Amino acid sequence: MGIRAGGLAGIRADARGRWERTRTWGAANPWAVDLGIALLVQAAMTMPFVVPRPPDLEPATWAAYGLTSLTVLPLVWRRRAPLAVLLAIVVASALYKVAVDGPGQPLPYTGLVIVYTIALLSPPWKRLVTAGLLVVAVPVSVWLNTRSVRELTFSLFVFGAAYVFGRLQDARQRAHRIEAERAAARERARIAREMHDILSHAVSLMIVQAEAGPVAVRVAPERAEAAFEAISETGREAMNQLRQMLGLLRESPENSESAAPLEPQPDLAALPGLVERVRGSGLAVTYTTEGGVRAALPAATGASVYRIVQEALTNVVKHADARTAEVRLSRADGVLRVTVTDDGRGPRGGSGGHGLLGIRERAAAHGGTATTGPGPGGRGFEVRVLLPVPSTAEVGA
């Protein structure tokens, strides 16, 4: 009763982390896993030999125990040659029933393990061969033992259950692989979008400044110096953001504690600096806000708004041939409106390449929408983004 929800979440996360590490270790060391399973099965099959037998039965012999171990040993190769292991277990088990009078086992442990393995790892034809072999071997084993319908029914049930569990585990692993591939594809798309936004914005500003530099050197040397300073500042910021992204990609659970602290993603607080850098390229940009846009805004939303404005301004610099642009953020009724308008001619062909697509993807990721088209009165170009956010009334409450 004294454990808080956060503590329980931490315990669950720690348990999931340990399980993932154990599963990763098992995938990298299959021989060790198979040997461990064989030892566990051997321990289970040893129990009837150490428990005292009734006085009317002969004591267990070392020969019987040796044959029992012989049925377990093939499990070490269960992944590499499952059908051969199954045949070895069937032969060794039949020899045990015919040649010695040893203790019986409450469950056919070795058979269940190999049937599960074949159902999990083997192709359909091997599973079909296994089913045919069991249809013969199970009734013969029951006839050599008790010849009872009850034992036959129970044996068929447990072997069927082992097979079903193997197929279910195979389906579960396939689903996990598909989800992992989808997650990897989403992450690749996200990284590509971030790289595009960072590099496209920085390179576009640097090209504009570099093209204006030679003219400024001849006409107004002081402006040339400012242009070169803007190029340097833009390049440094792009490098810082790229280092941050690469640091996140390199970070792993083993070295995350020792890694250098990373700067947070840019958000709404960084927008004035972004606008100022774009002004340095010669574009007259105004920035206005309404309705307390920064009040209790989620960090992810703030970062996406920054990238949206960055990409929109990059398109203006690259494609619009504009003289002025306006960035406006307003918040009302649980909606954050982001508008970037210019007086230019818009992207060539109206597409804007990957940039406008990235804007739409970022908006959709937060449950919002993004539209683009002519500005007010049909002049220029406008990017309009609507993002659901907590209303200012809810924040105040």
pLDDT tens figures, 63-97: 888 888 888 999 999 988 999 999 988 888 888 87
Question: Which class is 284-397 in CATH?
Answer: alpha beta
**Crossing angle of helices 124-145/149-219, nearest 10°?**
150
The C-alpha atoms of residue 307 and residue 266 are separated, in whole angstroms, by 8
Q: Quick count: other Cβ atoms within 10 Å of Cβ 310? A: 25
Question: Residues near 150 by Cβ (< 8 Å), separated by ≥ 6?
Answer: none
More confident residue, 234 or 321: 321
Nearest residue to 110 via CA among 70, 65, 50, 164: 70
The C-alpha atoms of residue 92 and residue 67 are separated, in whole angstroms, by 7
pLDDT of residue 382: 92
CA atoms 173, 175, 176, 181: torsion sign: positive
Domain limits of the chain?
A: 28-147, 284-397
Above 70 in pLDDT, residue 28?
A: no
More confident residue, 390 or 4: 390
Above 60 in pLDDT, residue 392?
A: no
pLDDT of residue 340: 94
φ, ψ for residue 257, nearest 5 deg? -70, -35
pLDDT of residue 9: 52
pLDDT of residue 224: 63
The C-alpha atoms of residue 195 and residue 189 are separated, in whole angstroms, by 10
Nearest residue to 328 via CA among 377, 385, 264, 367: 385
pLDDT of residue 237: 73
pLDDT tens figures, 305-363: 988 998 888 888 877 788 899 999 999 888 999 999 998 876 655 445 567 888 888 88
R_g (Cα) of the chain, nearest Å: 35
